Structure 1
Amino acid sequence: MFTSLLPDIGIPSMLLMLVAALSVYWLWSKSRRPYLKYNIPPYPVPPKFIFGHTPMLKDGIRDKFKEWQEQVGDIFSLDIGGRHSIVVNGYSNIKEILVKQADKIPDIPHTFRNDIIKERNKGIIGASGDNWKEQRTVSLAILRSFGLGKNVLAEKIQEEVAVYIKQLKESKGQPVDVKILTNISISNVICAIIIGKRFEHDDARFVRFMELLNNTVRLASKIALIDLFPFLYYIPGDLFHAKRWANSILETNEMFSKVYVKEGMASFNENEEATNFIAAYLQELKKKRDSGESTLMDENNLVAIIRNLFIAGTETTSTTILWGILYMLHNPEVQEKVYQEIVSNVGTERPPNMHDKQKLTYLSAVIQETQRLASLVPIAIRRVVCVPFEMNGYTFPKGSIILPNLDSVLHDKKVWGDPENFRPERFLDKSGNLLHPDEIIPFSIGRRVCLGEALAMMELFLFLSSMLQRFKFVPVDSHKLPSLKAIIGITSMPNNFNVRFIERE
C-alpha cells in the first residue's frame, strides 16, 4: 500500500518530507533537557526554546557571566544549543574542579570544527585521553630539552628582542601600530624552537603564514554556532566564517607544517643530536616504533602540535605585550618607575637578561598585574564530565561541559580589593619582595595548564624590560588615550592603537 503511494507523491515531495521529518527530530533533540532530572546548579534565567542561553551571550560573555554570578552564585548552569554547561567561578571552586576532580573531567568536548579539518583527537589542544597524555608528555620533554625556562633559550629570545628593538628605533618616534611586528617577533622565537631557524620579517612565506595564524585565532570565536548546529556549515556561502577558518588551517598545514615535517623526515638521522622540535619528535617516534612500544605518535599529530604551539605561543604572549604597552600609556608614573628600577639595577649600556630578573621586582609586578587585569584567556579550556560527581551540593552529570571562568578569579574583588585598577604594588610586600598569590592563574591550573608558561614568562620579561629601557611609550594624543575596552574572543585583545616610541637619552 505504501509503495503504491510513491508515484503520486513524487521524489521532490518525498525529499521535502524527509527534510521536514529530520528538522522535527532535530528540534525535538535540541529542546530535550534530560539533565533536568538531576540536582544541577541553577539557571540564572530560564533557557530559550532550542537555543537555550546562546542568544543571551551575543554581547559578550565577560559582563554577562559576571552579572549571572552576582545573581545566582559562583556555580550556575547554562543551556548552550541543547547541551548542558556549568560555569564555575572563584578560585577555590576552579581548583576543586580542575585539580581535585581532574580524573572525572580528563577530556575536552568533541567539536565539529575538528571534524572539518580532519583533526579529531589530534595534537595537544584538541586531543583527549591517551593521545593527549602522550603528545603532551613528549612535547613537554622536548621543549625542556631545548632549554624551556633556561638560559640557552633565553639567548634565542634575546636575539629576537634585538631585532624588535631595532625595528622600533626605525619608527623614529612616529605613531605606529606594533601588533603585527610583535606577532612576528614572538612567532620567530617559536620558529627557532620548532624548525631551528628564524625568518626575516619581510619573508613572503612567513608573512603569509602569520596572516593565516591570525585568521585562525580571529575567526575561532565567530564559528561557535557551527559547533552547536553543524548543518549551518553546509549552507551556501560563508555566513559564519567557518569555511575561511578551515581553509586558513588547511593552508597553514600544507604550506608550513607539512613542508617542514617532510623536510625533517628527508634529512632525518637518528644518530645526530636533534636541533629542533620536529627532529626530536621524529627521533622519539622512531625509537618507540623500533622498540615495539605501543605509541599514538605519528606525523598527523606532529602537524597539529606545530600549529598548536604557534597559536598558543604567539597569540597569548604578543597580546600580553600589547596590553603592557597600553597600560603604560594609561599609567605613565608606573612606566617611569620601571625605567628607574632598570637604570638603578642594570644600567643602559647593555640589555637586561634573565640574571637581572630577581633584581627587577617592580617590573615583574607590572607583568603580573598586566596578566591579571588583561585576563587574556577569560575562559579556560572546556572540559567534559566523563564520570558524574557531586560538588557544593550540586550534581555534575555525565556529558556536561565545564566552563572554568578565570575572569572571576583574576577580577575577584574579594581577593584584589580594587580589581578594576592597574596597581602593580599589590604583588609586592612591604620590603619590595615579589609576591606570588595562588589566585594569579593567567595560564590556568591543573593538568591542562599552559604548556609554554615558562617560555611566555621569559619572553614577557626580556621583551618588556628591553623596550622600557630603550624607549618611553608616549600616546599619540595625550588628551585621548587608546581605549582599554577589550575585544573578547578566544582571547581578550585590545583594540588596535598607535603609540610613539621615544628613545631614551
Structure 2
Amino acid sequence: MGSVLKILDLNSVVLALVLGLIFLVLFEIMRIHFSRGKTPPGPRPFPFVGTIPHVIMDPAGCVRSFHQYGEMATMFLGRQPMIMLNTLQITKEALVQEASAFSGRPTIPIIEWMTNGFGIIMATFGHSWRQQRRFALHTLRNFGLGKKSLEERVLEEGHFLIAEMIKAEGKAFDPQHVIQNAVSNIICSIVFGDRFEYNNKRFANLLKILNENFMLMGSAVGQIFGLIPFIKHFPGPHQKILRNADELLGFVRDEVKEHRQTFDTENPRDFIDAYLLEMEKQKSREDSTFHEGNMVMSVVDLFLAGTDTTATTIRWGLIFLMENPEIQERCHKEIVQVLGYDRLPSMDDRDKLPYTHATVYEIQRCANIAPFGVVHATTQPTKLRGYDIPKGTMIMTNLTRIFSDEKHWKSPDTFNPENFLDENGYFYKPEAFIAFSVGPRACLGETLAKTELFIFITSLLQQIKFSWPPNSQCPDMDGIIGALRYPHPYKITCSGRDAKTDRQ
C-alpha cells in the first residue's frame, strides 16, 4: 500500500510540473502576443528566448531581413524588446532631433561583468559619461588628434607596415596581425606614449585576445549570457571572456603603474599622464568621476575602439581590392600620377585623389563592420512614430539597410567607388554615410579613424599590389558576426611596386 501511495505521489508531482510548465508556456505566449501589439512589427519571438535563435542560426540573413518590417522593427533579446531603426530619416529623428531621450546605453550583463559600469563607450548617459568623454576628446586633441603631428605618426607607421608586408613578398600570409598591430600602434602612441614592434609576443597575444573577445561577445556564448547572466558563477566558455578582459586590464594597470613611477606633472607624455594629472586636480571635488576605475576603463575603451574597428575595415578593404583588381589598379595609377612612388600621402592630398578617396569610403560602406551600430537606450519614456517606448528600451540603427538603400546609392549592392563621386568625378559624401553614427554618442575617434584609413590604404596601394594566392578563393562575404562583422580568415600575396616593375 505504501509503495502504491509513493507512486501516486510521484505521478502527482510529475503531473503538477507538466501542468505548471504548460501554464508557463501558455502565459508566455499570451505575454508575447500582448507585447507585440505595443511594439513595431518584427520576426516572431520564441517563448523565453525571443528572437535570439534567429540570430544564432542565420546572423547575416537576420541582419538583412529587418527592413522588410518597415522603418522600425522589433526583435526580442529574451523577453526584452530591441527596436531597430531601418531608415536614415528615422535614425536622425531619434538620435539627433530627440537625442536626450535616445542617447542612453542599456545594461548589458556581459559588458557590466567586465567593466563595472566604468569607462566611456558603454557608460550610462549622465554626469560621469559627460566628464569622461569631454576629457577624452580634449586630451586626444592635445596629443595630436586632427593635427599634422598625428598624421606624421600614421605615415611613419604606414612605412613600418609596408616594410613588414614586403618581407613576405611572393609568399601567402594572413595580414591580420600586421594590420592590427599597425593600427593599434597609433592609439598606443597617444594613450601609452609608445608603439610596439610587430614581433612583440606579449602585445601580439593582447591583440589576439582582444579579437577573440569581440568574437565571443557577439556569439551564442554572449547571447546566452545575456539571457541567464547568473552563469557567471559557473564554469564554461563564457569564463574565457572574463579571463581575456582581466588580462587586458592587467596590461593597462601595469602601464599605469609604470607611468606613476616616472610621472612629471610639468610634462605629461600621453593620455595616462594627463589622466593622472586630472585625478590630482579634481581629488577635492565631490562630483569628480576621475578615479582609478574610470581611468583604466577609459584607456581600455580607447585602445579597443582605436584598434579593432579600423583594422577590420582595412582587412575587408584588401578583399574588395583583390576581388576588383581594376579598381585597385585605377587607384594606384591615380596615386602615382599625383605622388609618384617616393612621396607619402597626406590628408591634404584627398582632393587630388578623388577616386582613391572614394574607394576608402566605399570600403567602409561595404565592410559595414557594425551592422547595427552601437546599441543605444532610451533615457526616459518617449514616443516615436506613434509608438510608446518605455525608458531603458534598446535602440539600434540598421546600417546594413541604410548602406544598401537604393534611395541613397548609385550601386547599392556592388563595390563601386562611384557611390562617392559626383557627375564631375569629384568626391562627395552622401548624407546616408553614417558609419560613425550621429548625435551626442557619435564615435569620438572619427577623426583618427578617417586619418588612419586614408593614409594606410593610400600608402599600401601606392607601394604594393595585392592578389589572391594561387588556388585560393574569396572567403564567404557574409563574414562572421561578433561584436563587429569580421571577414573570415584569408591569405594574400604582395608584390612591391616601383616605376620599373609597373612598366614591365
Could you tell me the TM-score, scaled by structure 2's length? Answer: 0.89
* Alignment CA distance shift 1:32-1:183 (3 Å): farther
Instruction: Give the drift of 1:96.
Output: 1.0
* Structure 2 SS opposite 1:501: strand
Runs of 4+ in 1 over 6 A off after TM superposition: 27-32
The residue type equivalent to 2:142 in the other structure is S
In structure 2, the residue matched to 1:221 is 218
Rounded to whole Å, the distance in 2 between the matches of 1:266 and 1:302 is 16
The residue type equivalent to 1:274 in the other structure is P
The residue type equivalent to 2:246 in the other structure is L
Instruction: Give the drift of 1:38.
Output: 9.1
Q: 2:184 aligns with which of 171, 182, 187?
A: 187
Instruction: Give the drift of 1:161.
Output: 1.0
* Structure 2 SS opposite 1:279: helix
Instruction: Give the drift of 1:345.
Output: 0.7
Rounded to whole Å, the distance in 2 between the matches of 1:328 and 1:306 is 33
8 Å Cα contact 2:66-2:86 kept in structure 1:
no
Instruction: Give the drift of 1:338.
Output: 0.5
Q: 1:197 aligns with which of 185, 194, 199?
A: 194
Q: 1:248 aligns with which of 223, 244, 247?
A: 244
Instruction: Give the drift of 1:232.
Output: 3.2
* Structure 2 SS opposite 1:442: coil
Instruction: Give the drift of 1:43.
Output: 3.1
Q: 1:51 aligns with which of 49, 52, 62?
A: 49
In structure 1, the residue matched to 2:322 is 329
Rounded to whole Å, the distance in 2 between the matches of 1:100 and 1:30 is 36
Rounded to whole Å, the distance in 2 between the matches of 1:478 and 1:34 is 51
What does residue range 17-166 of structure 1 map to in structure 2 within 5 Å? 33=31, 36=34, 40-70=38-68, 72-117=69-114, 119-128=115-124, 129-166=126-163
In structure 2, the residue matched to 1:265 is 260
8 Å Cα contact 2:366-2:415 kept in structure 1:
yes
In structure 1, the residue matched to 2:276 is 282
8 Å Cα contact 1:111-1:227 kept in structure 2:
yes
In structure 2, the residue matched to 1:4 is none
In structure 1, the residue matched to 2:6 is none
The residue type equivalent to 2:225 in the other structure is I
Rounded to whole Å, the distance in 1 between the matches of 2:183 and 2:242 is 24
8 Å Cα contact 1:35-1:84 kept in structure 2:
no
8 Å Cα contact 1:326-1:484 kept in structure 2:
no
The residue type equivalent to 2:120 in the other structure is I
Instruction: Give the drift of 1:323.
Output: 1.2
The residue type equivalent to 2:197 in the other structure is E
Instruction: Give the drift of 1:347.
Output: 0.7
Rounded to whole Å, the distance in 1 between the matches of 2:192 and 2:382 is 44
Unpaired runs of at least 5, structure 2: 1-12
Rounded to whole Å, the distance in 2 between the matches of 1:344 and 1:252 is 44
* Structure 1 SS opposite 2:195: coil
8 Å Cα contact 1:31-1:50 kept in structure 2:
no
Cα deviation digits, residues 440-490 of structure 1 (max 9, x gap)? 011111111111111111111111111111111122137844443321111
What does residue range 432-447 of structure 1 map to in structure 2 within 5 Å? 432-447=425-440
Stretch deviating more after TM superposition (205-214 or 460-469): 205-214
The residue type equivalent to 1:286 in the other structure is E
* Structure 1 SS opposite 2:494: strand
In structure 2, the residue matched to 1:12 is none
* Alignment CA distance shift 1:165-1:392 (3 Å): same
Rounded to whole Å, the distance in 2 between the matches of 1:280 and 1:230 is 36
What does residue range 231-380 of structure 1 map to in structure 2 within 5 Å? 231-235=230-234, 237-238=235-236, 241-254=237-250, 256-270=251-265, 272-289=266-283, 292=285, 294-380=287-373
The reply to whether residue 397 of structure 1 matches residue 381 of structure 2 is no
Instruction: Give the drift of 1:114.
Output: 3.5
Instruction: Give the drift of 1:354.
Output: 2.5
* Alignment CA distance shift 1:36-1:120 (3 Å): farther
The residue type equivalent to 2:230 in the other structure is F
The reply to whether residue 173 of structure 1 matches residue 166 of structure 2 is no
Rounded to whole Å, the distance in 1 between the matches of 2:475 and 2:62 is 24
* Structure 1 SS opposite 2:442: coil
- For these two proteins, the number of residue pairs brought into alignment is 481
Rounded to whole Å, the distance in 1 between the matches of 2:281 and 2:359 is 45
* Structure 1 SS opposite 2:306: helix
Rounded to whole Å, the distance in 2 between the matches of 1:175 and 1:450 is 35
* Alignment CA distance shift 1:212-1:47 (3 Å): closer
Q: Percent identity among equivalent residues?
A: 33
The residue type equivalent to 1:43 in the other structure is P
* Alignment CA distance shift 1:32-1:181 (3 Å): farther
Stretch deviating more after TM superposition (79-88 or 39-48): 39-48
* Structure 1 SS opposite 2:411: coil
Stretch deviating more after TM superposition (90-99 or 217-226): 217-226
The residue type equivalent to 2:204 in the other structure is V
* Alignment CA distance shift 1:281-1:33 (3 Å): farther
* Alignment CA distance shift 1:362-1:63 (3 Å): same
In structure 1, the residue matched to 2:411 is 418
Rounded to whole Å, the distance in 2 between the matches of 1:490 and 1:37 is 27
Rounded to whole Å, the distance in 2 between the matches of 1:68 and 1:501 is 39
Instruction: Give the drift of 1:340.
Output: 0.9
Rounded to whole Å, the distance in 2 between the matches of 1:55 and 1:175 is 37
Rounded to whole Å, the distance in 2 between the matches of 1:499 and 1:269 is 45
In structure 2, the residue matched to 1:487 is 480
Instruction: Give the drift of 1:350.
Output: 2.3
8 Å Cα contact 1:38-1:395 kept in structure 2:
no
Instruction: Give the drift of 1:261.
Output: 1.1
Rounded to whole Å, the distance in 1 between the matches of 2:209 and 2:373 is 24
Cα deviation digits, residues 203-232 of structure 1 (max 9, x gap)? 232122222212221211121220221133
The residue type equivalent to 1:305 in the other structure is S
Instruction: Give the drift of 1:53.
Output: 1.7
CA RMSD of aligned residues (A): 2.7
* Structure 2 SS opposite 1:415: coil
8 Å Cα contact 1:108-1:381 kept in structure 2:
no
Q: 1:383 aligns with which of 376, 380, 398?
A: 376
Rounded to whole Å, the distance in 2 between the matches of 1:273 and 1:432 is 47
* Structure 2 SS opposite 1:342: helix
In structure 1, the residue matched to 2:5 is none
The residue type equivalent to 2:390 in the other structure is P
Unpaired runs of at least 5, structure 1: 1-15
Rounded to whole Å, the distance in 1 between the matches of 2:289 and 2:246 is 22
